[in-house]
């Protein structure tokens, strides 16, 4: 089983991502409001304020989805996400999958 983090910079695509997850049998996850490090540096730390013009057009926040995916479904799941989020486009988002060493409280899916 993998723990998957999906950072969605185009937050208007969150609903489509969640619908896709339900379609492929992933019925659980956690959605977090999140902010990229660059945004914090530019707006909250004065020494980096000169880089503010580099942030023009970027959103103030993004969404991060955490969920679990069975090993054998991971590649197909990420390919489906890529069709929605287009990870090769700059600023679109990121997906990361990590092995789960141990867990408690996870819903066991058939």
3-state per-residue secondary structure call for 12-38: HHHHHHHHHHHHCCCCCCEEEEECCHH
How high is the pLDDT of residue 90?
Answer: 83
How high is the pLDDT of residue 110?
Answer: 44
Q: Check the CA dihedral 20-24-25-29 and report its sign.
A: negative
Task: Give the integer Cα–Cα distance in Å for 26 and 28.
Answer: 6
Q: Mean per-residue pLDDT for 70-93?
A: 94
Q: Which token pair is 8?
A: 């969605």
How high is the pLDDT of residue 106?
Answer: 81
Would you place residue 48 in the very low, low, confident or very high pLDDT band (cuts 50, 70, 90)? low
Q: What is the pTM of this model?
A: 0.81
pLDDT higher than threshold 90 for residue 19: yes
Mean pLDDT of the chain: 85
How high is the pLDDT of residue 13?
Answer: 96
Would you place residue 36 in the very low, low, confident or very high pLDDT band (cuts 50, 70, 90)? confident
Domain extent listing, the chain = 2-34+63-99
CATH number of 2-34+63-99: 3.30.70.120
């Amino acid at each position: 089983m993998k723990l998957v983090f999906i950072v969605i910079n185009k937050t208007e695509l969150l609903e489509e991502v969640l619908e896709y997850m339900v379609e492929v049998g992933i019925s659980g996850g956690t959605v977090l409001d999140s902010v990229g490090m660059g945004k914090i540096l530019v707006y909250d730390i004065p020494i980096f304020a000169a880089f503010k013009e580099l942030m023009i057009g970027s959103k103030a926040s993004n969404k991060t989805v955490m969920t679990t995916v069975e090993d054998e479904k991971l590649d197909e799941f990420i390919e489906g996400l890529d069709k929605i989020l287009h990870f090769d486009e700059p600023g679109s988002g990121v997906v990361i999958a990590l092995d789960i060493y141990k867990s408690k409280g996870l819903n066991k899916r058939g």
